[in-house]
């Protein structure tokens, strides 16, 4: 299909799941004989994997199309992903866009590229989201250190602020056999850490056979993947509190490779707002999960997603959330400022919070996050840990993460890339990162 030397470039907006899917799409191009180049280089095709979660992602899309056109005005530009599923016509109208593929079509993109001549109008292939009922497994190797392995897609939850079920369809999973096969492939590439990703990962097992039949659960997956040799670290990307069972916490605590790091969305610390959001738990359950993790793994790192400025959030509601998080034994926050999304229930709710107030609340919680992270790092000083070093030279330093997600730094040495070492955490630098002593001198060439 490909004339000699055709080049393709990719740009990914949004979540880790999108990055793993871009990697899979990229491999399909390479199988057709395309050469993958950087997005800043001249290419014949530019593929933009879009996101619909934040207002910013929508706006950035246009900027990225312009960037591609500037490099090569004759290039073929394709948009895929969540925003492409939700608002295909809107993306097709963007000047320079030739092809828009929705949820089911994005993995078959090379089938649509027989003719790479520019279109006067963006051509749309977007399914009814009900058709997105099959599963495409994927993984991405973001750097030489870790890989994101997708195990589940879609969501059956109907949170009132969220467009993901509209963009990705029903909850469905990869087969356990395929997940383990992908994990083995990754480990054979010398990658030391695998991050399990999905839209609603705790729902794993559902839709494994293209219907709602369940043979395996997330707990089965965790137990099975922990047995694969050659993977030093396994990390769970993000899991709903009501789907994080005590048995799973127990398995992680006793496991060979799973690290003591959890990211658990909360969204609000106020039960009334959790109800309005259609979340499937109350804050008391969240407290139970945090306490169980800390009981079994006192040094575990716990990250929290929280939304500020949801319709109807009063000062009292916000302070309720702030106090709740302040008193909870967690390690950092990911703060999202609520933004209205079309076709969601929340967009039509009363009690719209002024943007200025949303920003102020967001700033307060970001401040709390910095305080929490600092306190967590301080609690780890003097402890022995294992660090896995990353691959980038950042202002003369190399960074790495301990198993419990403490970010450390040491002067740049390329020999350290993708190596693990026993260290003792010594002090916190002025930039907030942690310095350390080696437990024994690193054996590196």
Residue 129: pLDDT over 60: no
Which residue ranges form the domains of the chain, and what is each CATH number?
A: 7-129 (3.40.50), 133-259 (3.30.750.210), 265-379 (3.30.750.200), 383-438 (2.40.50)
Q: What is the radius of gyration, based on Cα positions, of the chain?
A: 22
Q: Find, among 133, 131, 139, 118, the residue nearest to 45 by Cα.
A: 118
Spell out a b/e string for 195-225, using b for 16 or more CB atoms within 10 Å of the CB, else e. Answer: bbbbbbbbbbbbbbeeeeeeebbbbebbeeb
What confidence score (pLDDT) does residue 391 get? 86
What confidence score (pLDDT) does residue 85 get? 83
- pLDDT, tens digit, 9 for 90 and up, residues 328-342: 999 999 999 898 888
- Under the banding of pLDDT at 50, 70 and 90, the label for residue 153 is confident
Answer with the residue of higher pLDDT: 5 or 430. Answer: 430
Residue 121: pLDDT over 50: no
- Under the banding of pLDDT at 50, 70 and 90, the label for residue 297 is very high
What confidence score (pLDDT) does residue 123 get? 54
For the chain, the three-class secondary structure string (H helix, E strand, C coil) is CCCCCCEEEEEECCCHHHHHHHHHHHHHHHHCCCEEECCCCCCCEEEEEECCCCHHHHHHHHHHHHHHHHHCCCCEEEEEEHHHHHCHHHHHCCCCCCEEECCCCHHHHHHHCCCCCCCCCCEEECCCHHHCCCCCCEEEECCCCEEEEECEECCCCCCCCCCHHHHHCCCEECCHHHHHHHHHHHHHCCCCEEEEECCCHHHCCCCCCCCCCCCCCHHHHHHHHCCCCCCCEEEECCCCHHHCCHHHHHHHHHCCCECCEEEEEEECCCHHHHHHCCCCCCHHHHHHHHHHHHHHCCCCEEEEEEEECCCCCCHHHHHHHHHHHHHCCCCEEEEEECCCCCCCHHHHCCCCCCHHHHHHHHHHHHHHHHHHHHHHHHHHCCCEEEEEECCCCECCEEEEEECCCCEEEEECCHHHCCCEEEEEEEEECCCCCEEEEECCCCCCC
Mean pLDDT of the chain: 88
Residue 114: pLDDT over 60: no
In the chain, the percentage of residues whose pLDDT exceeds 90 is 59
């Amino acid at each position: 299909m490909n004339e000699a030397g055709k080049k393709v470039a990719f740009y990914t907006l949004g979540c880790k799941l999108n990055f793993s899917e871009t990697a899979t799409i990229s491999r399909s191009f390479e199988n057709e004989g395309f050469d993958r180049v950087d997005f800043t280089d001249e290419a014949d095709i530019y593929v933009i994997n879009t996101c619909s979660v934040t207002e910013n992602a929508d706006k950035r899309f246009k900027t990225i199309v312009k960037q591609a056109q500037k490099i090569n005005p004759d290039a073929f530009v394709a948009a895929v992903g969540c925003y492409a599923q939700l608002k295909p016509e809107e993306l097709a109208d963007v000047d320079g866009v030739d092809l828009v593929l929705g949820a089911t079509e994005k993995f078959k993109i090379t089938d649509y590229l027989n003719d790479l001549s520019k279109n006067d109008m963006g051509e749309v292939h977007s399914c009814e989201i009900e058709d997105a009922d099959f599963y495409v497994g994927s993984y991405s190797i973001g750097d030489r250190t870790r890989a994101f392995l997708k195990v589940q897609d879609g969501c059956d939850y109907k949170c009132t602020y969220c467009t993901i079920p509209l963009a990705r369809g029903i909850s469905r999973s990869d087969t356990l056999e395929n997940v383990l096969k992908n994990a083995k492939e990754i480990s054979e590439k010398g990658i030391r850490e695998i991050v399990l990703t999905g839209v609603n990962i705790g729902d794993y097992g559902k839709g494994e056979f293209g219907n709602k039949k369940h043979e395996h659960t997330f707990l089965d997956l965790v137990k099975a993947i922990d047995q694969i040799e050659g993977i030093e670290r396994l990390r769970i990307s993000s899991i709903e509190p009501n789907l994080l069972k005590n048995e799973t916490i127990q398995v992680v605590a006793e496991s060979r490779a799973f690290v003591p790091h959890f990211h658990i969305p909360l969204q609000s610390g106020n039960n009334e707002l959790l109800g309005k959001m259609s979340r499937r738990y109350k804050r008391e359950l969240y407290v139970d999960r945090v306490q169980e993790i800390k009981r079994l793994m006192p040094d575990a790192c716990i990250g929290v997603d929280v939304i500020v400025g949801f319709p109807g959030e009063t000062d009292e509601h916000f302070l309720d959330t702030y106090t709740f998080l302040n008193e909870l034994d967690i390690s950092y926050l990911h703060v999202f400022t609520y933004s209205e999304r079309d076709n969601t229930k929340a967009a039509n709710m009363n009690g719209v919070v002024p943007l200025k107030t949303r920003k102020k609340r967001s700033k307060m919680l970001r401040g709390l996050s910095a305080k929490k992270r600092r306190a967590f790092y301080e609690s780890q000083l003097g402890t022995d840990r294992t660090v896995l070093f990353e691959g980038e030279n950042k202002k003369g330093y190399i960074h790495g993460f301990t198993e419990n997600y403490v970010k450390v730094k040491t002067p740049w040495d390329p020999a350290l890339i993708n190596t693990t070492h026993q260290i003792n955490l010594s002090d916190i630098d002025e930039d907030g990162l942690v310095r350390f002593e080696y437990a024994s001198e690193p054996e590196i060439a």
